[in-house]
Amino acid sequence: MNILVVGGAGYIGSHMVRLLDSAGHKVWVLDNLSTGFMQAVTAGELIVGDMNDSELVKSVLGDNRIDIVMHFAACALVGESCANPAKYYQNNVVNTLLLLESMRATNVRKIVFSSTCATYGIPDKVPISEATPQQPVNPYGFTKLVIERALRDYSQAHNFGYAALRYFNAAGASPLGGIGEDHTPESHLIPIVLQVAMGQREQVTVFGNDWPTLDGSCVRDYIHVDDLADAHLRAMERLKPGTGIELNLGTGTGFSVRQIIETCREVTNVDIKSVDGDRRAGDPPELVADASKAESELGWVPQYTSPRSIIETAWEWHRNNPAGYGDTALAEGQVE
Ligand SMILES: NC(=O)c1ccc[n+]([C@@H]2O[C@H](COP(=O)([O-])OP(=O)(O)OC[C@H]3O[C@@H](n4cnc5c(N)ncnc54)[C@H](O)[C@@H]3O)[C@@H](O)[C@H]2O)c1
Ligand SMILES: O=c1ccn([C@@H]2O[C@H](COP(=O)(O)OP(=O)(O)O[C@H]3O[C@H](CO)[C@@H](O)[C@H](O)[C@H]3O)[C@@H](O)[C@H]2O)c(=O)[nH]1
């Protein structure tokens, strides 16, 4: 199939591009490189542009006879969304609606959308199934929920076939090497802890020590990026006009911030320093998936089931690329 991966130069999208290519699909990537990297695109054709550029998007969709859009492009930081909601409503809602309209205009009606467990807000109970009410507690989660609703409406009104995949916390890196997580400034837990292990930061701050959890720190369900990509591949094959599937993607087990830091100490063999700090705005205390629907509907079972196995792949990436994609840029510069 001909697939357009919007946001394919980013962390999760770049792993998707690699998998699609190895599965024999033809791939195009549309990315404005706002948080992505040219070097992260290891297959297909990269078109540098914005999803809000409707003329460009329509020509990419039409000229290449795209069958399916995979939509990863977004602003995706909970804390930043609380501080700067307009940026989130603009990119995640307004720009995504422009993308959907470009699809409609060119008769491309299949889409796999990156949604998030942040659409659930603070659930009454965990694990979180798809039947859990979606009541986001931060602007980021709201923007993703708006698009889920839009996709439902587009499927009814315009015959779109969609999958909204609600990831829990993406982590890890491709064991094949060359791609991994690189955000500037970094705000995600595992890369920050590994930066401490590499001596790039003095310490990691644990955001909140009085949450109602096993050890007072927040609990999350960490899922490997390649497992996420695998679920997309399976979902893509099941898209049907006029219907949608909405699925949680996680391992089903939660780990606290302190447990993650401890596991990073074990994997790296470094005595990583941590200090307690204030709670971070917009953080729910505990997010753990009930992903049984993804298993029954897609036959999807995560291959990486322990934080240790996930963190080992992340550590490999960070050790080999201590400056992230900056290393590659430097290496290319030196060759010149
Ligand atoms: N990382 C996680 O734990 C996680 C969890 C749940 C959901 N998600 C969702 O998964 C998706 C990918 O997340 P990620 O961690 O890979 O983020 P990322 O920032 O690494 O990737 C996003 C990519 O989209 C591109 N982009 C952003 N706005 C664009 C626009 N207007 N036009 C074209 N390209 C644009 C960026 O340059 C970047 O390459 C996001 O939609 C995010 O909300 C991520
Ligand atoms: O220096 C840090 C960084 C993070 N945390 C905590 O670690 C946990 C994980 O944080 P982070 O890695 O920033 O991920 P989340 O804020 O949970 O958000 C991620 O996971 C969401 C799904 O849960 C996605 O929707 C978002 O896009 C993605 O950024 C949270 O409890 C944070 O409070 C710390 O204690 N110290």
The mean per-residue pLDDT over the stretch 47-60 comes to 98
pLDDT in tens, 133-142: 999 999 999 9
**pTM check: above 0.90:** yes
pLDDT band at 281 (very low <50, low <70, confident <90, very high): confident
The mean per-residue pLDDT over the stretch 75-89 comes to 95
The mean per-residue pLDDT over the stretch 196-207 comes to 98
**What pLDDT score was predicted for residue 328?**
53
Strand ranges across the sheet with 255-256: 255-256, 219-220, 286-287
**What pLDDT score was predicted for residue 282?**
82
pLDDT band at 145 (very low <50, low <70, confident <90, very high): very high
**What pLDDT score was predicted for residue 330?**
40
ipTM surpasses cut 0.95: yes
For the chain, give the percent of residues with pLDDT over 70. Answer: 97
From the CA of 186, the nearest ligand is: 2
Amino acid identity, position 24: G
pLDDT in tens, 209-265: 999 999 999 999 999 999 999 999 999 999 999 999 999 999 999 999 999 999 999
How many other CB atoms are found less than 10 A from the CB of residue 97? Answer: 16
From the CA of 60, the nearest ligand is: 1
User: CB under 6 Å to ligand 2: residues?
Assistant: 76-78, 116-118, 168-169, 187-189, 192, 204-207, 218, 220, 257, 280, 283, 287
Tell me: pLDDT of 44 over 70.
yes
38 lines ligand 1 (CB under 6 A): no
Which residues are catalytically annotated?
A: 140
pLDDT in tens, 290-313: 999 999 999 999 999 999 999 999
What is the residue-averaged pLDDT of the chain?
A: 96
CA distance 4 to 135: 31
The mean per-residue pLDDT over the stretch 157-177 comes to 98
Contact between 68 and 239 (Cβ < 8 Å): yes
HEC string of the chain equals: CEEEEECCCCHHHHHHHHHHHHCCCEEEEEECCCCCCHHHCCCCEEEECCCCCHHHHHHHHHHCCCCEEEECCCCCCHHHHHHCHHHHHHHHHHHHHHHHHHHHHCCCCEEEEEEEHHHHECCCCCCECCCCCCECCCHHHHHHHHHHHHHHHHHHHHCCEEEEEEECEEECCCCCCCCCCCCCCCCCHHHHHHHHHCCCCCCEEEECCCCCCCCCCCEECEEEHHHHHHHHHHHHHCCCCCCEEEEEECCCCCEEHHHHHHHHHHHHCCCCCEEEECCCCCCCCEECECCHHHHHHHCCCCCCCCHHHHHHHHHHHHHHCCCCCHHHHHHHHHHC
Count of alpha carbons within 13 angstroms of residue 277, beta-carbon side = 10
**What pLDDT score was predicted for residue 327?**
59
Q: Higher-confidence residue: 185 or 142?
A: 142
Amino acid identity, position 3: I
Which structural domains are found in the chain, ordered by start?
A: 2-320 (3.40.50.720)
CA distance 309 to 329: 29
